[in-house]
Chain A
Amino acid sequence: MREPVILVENLVKRYGSTLAVDGISFTVERGVTTALLGGNGAGKTTTLAILLGLLLPTSGSVQIFGEDVLRHRYRVLPRMNFSTPYVDLPHRLTVRQNLVIYARLYGLPQRDERIAALAQDLQIEALLERPAGKLSAGQKTRVALAKAMLNEPELLLLDEPTVSLDPDTGDWVRGYLEEYRGRTGATILLASHNMAEVERLCSEVLMMKAGRIVDRGSPGELIDRYGRTNLEEVFLTIARARPALEAVQ
């Protein structure tokens, strides 16, 4: 077994009487793309926020690169990054200004060269001097990816990376992520509703429902296990199943 980049044990997050994450445990191995799959309110984004240190868990432990994130998050933050379509980069700054600021926050050497290289890779050269608030959804996604790639992260956390994108742009983004992982050996954990995306990108899937991991495996294994033809059918089977469905821990 390869070295785990993420090791989560008995993670619980409770908001008052609501249990957002209910004692989940999982590992993500180095160089693997893993999906957190589940319906709305399944606990995917909460889990990502805890991994990023933005949210403190009620109980449980999280290790990333062998470090306890709750105690030593600044040892791991330089090695990881995050992108979500739900939080835009500040609108009034140009794309370049935004990237320069994040590059400085990460202490990047040779900032201008790095931004130029990313702009070329992600085809945002023509957008660099435009205000971030005046970009289309597809352009914003590519810019957000550029921000997430600035420090060339060894661990990339993505929250629904292709939501609201047209099929062509969505396909382009998936291709870029595949290429990035192949080139750098990075580990990717993504939360998604897009089954085709997960089938294409991910070798491991964690199925979440009501804050618990209810099943896990490769897309092929899950499809075979449930006797379905694709991951979407598996998702629907799990989503519509009675709560009696055993949690697989």
Chain B
Amino acid sequence: MSRAHRLIRRAGEVPFSPARIWAMLLRYLYILRSSWPRTLELLYWPTLQMLIWGFMSQFLRQNSSYVAQAFGVLLAAVMLWDLLFRSQLGLSISFLEEMWARNLGQLFVTPLRPYEWLISLLAMSIIRVTIGVVPAALLAIPLYHYSIFEMGLPLVAFVAVLAAMGWGLGLAICGAILRHGMGAESLAWTVIFAIAPLSCVYYPVTTLPSWLQPVAWALPSTYVFEGMRAVMFQGIFRTDYFLEALVLDVFYIALGAAIFFIAFRDARHRGALLQMGE
């Protein structure tokens, strides 16, 4: 046996390989780089949202005491909401790239483990969110004299909670697509919007009917948006909200991962890894 064979065998038997994760991440970066319209699309919607809500905020500052108290409240809300949406979509789109390319059969005859693939999807989600949301946030500074970065450390906490929630949701959606095929593809774009009214992005939880409020408090995103308003209106960071949101995140990520791995195993029973695609 040659030295190369020995090295390949040893590498393949290692149960966790950053090199394989990097290989998959590289694949998604090549895809992103190969199409400038896709890169532009990443920037397009967050920037457009920021522009609309920025002008709306300027208008409401003159006409609403709520916005007048904290000018950036709507802008911060829309940017954080976009972060949640993009983190879920960033994961789901990279997953869908494999489905569109009918590439799962090729990938999983290599030593790539499903959990390594998942980690690469999470990493790609971070990159997509960064490309999409950060320029919009920077653009808001000269346009509206509002910087979300002034929130400081609480912003890091909000970003972490929302990104993790997006991943939990994204994993469950990928599992559903693995189970039900490309007919379930639209879930990647639609499911998150069912959560928006309950997350209380632009209004306090008390706005919801009392029977709906416990449902809202079951979402990590609700704690973030309530916490964001606490920072902006009262100047306090609600650690209790943060910790409760983290606990919920752990639960949703575990649930999403369980759905994904069960669906993956089921796909191996049905022979779907070879056939799945458009």
Chain A residues within CB distance 8 Å of chain B: 15, 45-46, 49, 52-56, 74-75, 77-82, 84, 87-93, 97, 100-102, 104-110, 114, 131, 147, 151-152, 154
Contacts and interface: CB of A to CB of B under 8 A. Distances in A.
Given A54-B268, A54-B271, 11 more contacts: A53-B268, A55-B271, A75-B12, A79-B5, A90-B97, A101-B26, A104-B19, A107-B12, A107-B19, A108-B4, A152-B5
Contact of B270 (A15, A90, A151): A15
A55 B266 CA distance: 10
Contacts of A147: 106
Given A15-B270, A77-B110, A107 B31 contact: no
Nearest to A20: B271
Nearest to B3: A109
Q: Which of B14, B22, B112 has the most CB of A within 10 A?
A: B112
B116 to A, nearest CB: 9
A74 B30 contact: no
A110 B103 CA distance: 25
A109 B3 CA distance: 9
**7 tightest A-B CB contacts, nearest first:** A107-B11, A78-B12, A104-B23, A90-B101, A105-B110, A55-B271, A54-B273
B31 A93 contact: yes
A89 B106 contact: yes
A149 to B, nearest CB: 12
Contact of B113 (A74, A84, A97, A108): A74
Interface string B239-278: 0000000000000000000000000010011110110000
18 contacts: A46-B271, A55-B269, A55-B271, A55-B273, A55-B274, A74-B12, A74-B15, A78-B111, A79-B12, A84-B105, A93-B31, A105-B23, A105-B107, A105-B112, A107-B8, A109-B4, A110-B4, A114-B4
Contacts, number: 128
A109 B24 CA distance: 17
Contacts of A109: 3-4, 7-8
B34 A82 contact: no
B11 A81 contact: no
Contact of A78 (B13, B22, B31): B13
B20 interface: yes
B106 A93 contact: no
B112 A90 contact: no
B108 interface: yes
Nearest to A50: B271
Nearest to B7: A109
Given A56-B268, A107-B20, A90 B103 contact: yes
B9 interface: yes
Contact of A87 (B19, B34, B106, B113): B106
A97 B12 contact: no
A107 B273 contact: no
B61 interface: no
A74 B13 contact: yes
Given A54-B273, A152-B5, A101 B12 contact: no
Contacts of B274: 45, 49, 54-55, 87
Contacts of B30: 93, 97, 101
B12 A87 contact: no
A79 B269 CA distance: 23
A152 B4 contact: yes
A151 B8 contact: yes
